[in-house]
Chains A and B, each alone.
Chain A
């Protein structure tokens, strides 16, 4: 029986069979885990009995539910396979049983059942939204990297997915089943590159998440900025100066900051990201702008890694609450509906302490009164304040003006004009009156307001038969209109108009079914001070001035026609200066500024109702003119590149015989004597017996007037006693190099002297006389050498010369002056003539001796 089974089934079953002799059913495969959602196929084999066949077998799950027979596959008479879909998360048994009720089976039920334990699992899936943070601890960043992620896919109780965080392949976290863990890095590796990922693995496999590759500092979550403090500035009621301290040293991580603020009691935050600026310097202060005066603000700050502008934000700092200063320019506007009331706007810019009420008639002020304000009311709320009931009596014209006072001063006046007309007082706001006066020049269309209504008047077209008119008024994004009959030339706009909003009022003529646009005009029902100042768009600082360009105030913020701009600027801790600029300008150049000085500049705009201060505050630094710097640089560059030309023109290379030649001729001169400043070396007597070969030319190498030391040295060997004037080549010297050593041992009675008498024109100079010759003369003399030539430290060759007798004055000896710096002593010789002279032999043409010998 066993041998039969060995033939029928694979060998692996034999082992099982042999080990389980007591059972007649064997199932396979026994896998450690099965994947949920997949099909699983199992096989049941009958062994050691012929009592049952495969037809007697059946499969059931956890002894409860029988697997339908449609899932069975009969392999042969003793083997039955089944395929099931793995569902559910709980592990369970898959049993193979026998349904035959024979006595043997009934008595040995335990031998006719065998099962597979199905441990179910989900395959691991790559996690998502991996994020890691290293928090600041004290003054350092913690070396512990906390990571979290969103696990994807399910887990079963029996087979959980393990997660491990890997950092750059060097560090790894402990394995966890959760979705967060930490990696201990030891010390935080600032400025190192991080590669972080999560490995998810279980019995079904392993999968890696996406890699986070970024600088280590991008994982740092610092503490919030410390010591965040707000400072109100009296001069800028719309601003608060915020100062803070870095939570961590810059050398570890540079931070960028964000501020959020809201009015106290409000929960609507406004966010301001602090610009990084042009420099690498980390800023620690910022001025919040466009705030409401006399309002309390709550301010918080946070920060994060600056480079890459990424990484986790710190927590918000603690609340800093400060109140902006009161603004002297109180905002309110008059209304006259039933009484002479004045309405505070939404923001009064301060707490009004009192009102000044002034009545005028045509002749001037009638009366004046100070009315205390009701302090119980909150000034930040818009309200109508009844100031006083005024008896107009029989007055035909009354002008009522009111100003308001707070701790900062007195506001501009707001006025109402009351005109009695047909027994009714018409009330117009002062601002509108001005506006009307400006409109009077309009040719065909007049728009004005009166008693809170806008009126339109137009001229009737002359040569047309008008059917009707249409009056249209439009504001941004909203248009309305009304029809008027053909006889109407004046009407009030019936729609609901808003104050401080610019309307474009147009009148259309309807004529025989055609529409003509007559004219249009812009108007306000009532003007107010601009809601905000203009924003400085660009500033071009120069050496002593700065050109400012600003943006016009958005139309919906103007609240009236801009009459002018007011530019204010100041140096630090100095009183501001103001400049008034016409309304049609959007740029201006501030002049007479100091270089390398920071100025704060702000611009306010005015309407007939007043102005609002300031717009954005711009810090400009007046620097050195770039153009000037460029010019200087270019000039320097030009000088550098053309230095040879400049040197030729301004400092021609003039040989200084007194500086070098005489010394070289007489090496016995002490060095200090070699460069006599007096230039004129007189007293050198030469005999007219020397042979002089002159070789001159304009070329430096031929004229040798440069008397370069190197060149001299190269010729020294061959020039003999007289050294060599640079004019003489070794061959041309009378006493060549061979003579030198010979003379060294003797106190020769004759000494050769050489002398440069003149030269050709210097480079770049015009020859003074073409007929003049440069003469190189050499003479022999027994005259003792000059004292100055007797130098103790001499070379052997020079020593030879030292023993030569010095020259002495003789009759017929001419003395030569070496005056290299005096052009009148320089003789110019044309090359041709020079060669001619050279060819003609030695010429002895000494200059007359002008001085005596040098002291000996």
Chain B
């Protein structure tokens, strides 16, 4: 009889412990979900801001192209229709999200020296206080910010994947050009860069649902 009572007590204890364990598991799972939701939200916010910055750079690049055309004298449209070799590809490559983000980063990096070269060339061609120079400077500055933002976003979302280096090493800049060639080169660089930003915006829209599920919640500074 005593043994039976003891068994009963033990059984009750086990039941209580099991209930408590279940409750604790529920609490842990719930808290995990909450943390995961917060991570997703943070990831979405980061990507959202990156998209907005991309849109802003795209818009400013559009304004820059207009200003560029008005600043180059006659036949501005013809300048942009010529083909120039050595300009980076505006397309985003890769199928996986990580590849696409890496491609965006690489393309931005590839365009950066070209934009700087255009700025240098236009510095010689335009008066010092030309609005074109200011706009060019702004777009170059924004490109740097966008590059940093994408770099940080990549490392945040794919902490274990190193960001691939620029394919083919550093970007090859064109050899010395005459004034006409410089005008053509500048316009083609800007229009191609705008295409890149368009492609980036398109790709980013599809990234959110694919990327922002397993992002860690590490706070990071985008500067």
Contact = CB atoms under 8 A, between A and B. Distances in A.
Interface string A165-200: 000111000000000000000110111110100000
Contacts of B222: 168, 192-193
B156 to A, nearest CB: 12
Given A191-B52, A215-B49, A249-B59, A168 B221 contact: yes
Contacts, number: 41
A192 B223 contact: yes
B138 interface: yes
The bracket for how many chain B residues form the interface is 10 to 19
Contact of A169 (B52, B53, B59, B223): B223
A249 B141 CA distance: 19
A134 B36 CA distance: 35
B195 interface: no
Nearest to B55: A251
Interface size classification for chain A? 10 to 19
Contacts of A252: 56
Given A168-B221, A215-B49, A191 B56 contact: yes
Nearest to A249: B59
Contacts of B141: 186-187, 189
B69 interface: no
B49 to A, nearest CB: 4
Contacts of B142: 187, 189
Contacts of B223: 168-170, 192-193, 195
A187 B137 contact: yes
B145 interface: yes
A191 B223 CA distance: 12
Contacts of A190: 52-53, 56
- Most A-side CB within 10 Å, residue of B50, B137, B223: B223
B218 to A, nearest CB: 13
B183 interface: no
Task: Pick from A190, A195, A215 the residue with the most CB of B within 10 Å.
Answer: A190
A251 B221 contact: no
Interface string A775-816: 000000000000000000000000000000000000000000
A127 B149 CA distance: 30
A191 B53 contact: yes
Interface string B133-169: 0000110011001000100000000000000000000
B56 A193 contact: no
Interface in B201-223: 221-223
Nearest to B54: A191
Interface in B50-70: 50, 52-53, 55-56, 59
B140 to A, nearest CB: 9
Contacts of A186: 141
Nearest to A186: B141
Interface string A186-229: 11011111010000000000000000000100000000000000
Nearest to B142: A187
**3 nearest interchain CB pairs?**
A168-B223, A191-B53, A193-B222
Interface of A: 168-170, 186-187, 189-193, 195, 215, 249, 251-252
19 contacts: A168-B221, A168-B222, A169-B221, A169-B223, A170-B223, A186-B141, A187-B137, A187-B141, A189-B145, A191-B49, A191-B50, A191-B53, A191-B149, A192-B49, A192-B145, A195-B221, A249-B59, A251-B55, A251-B56
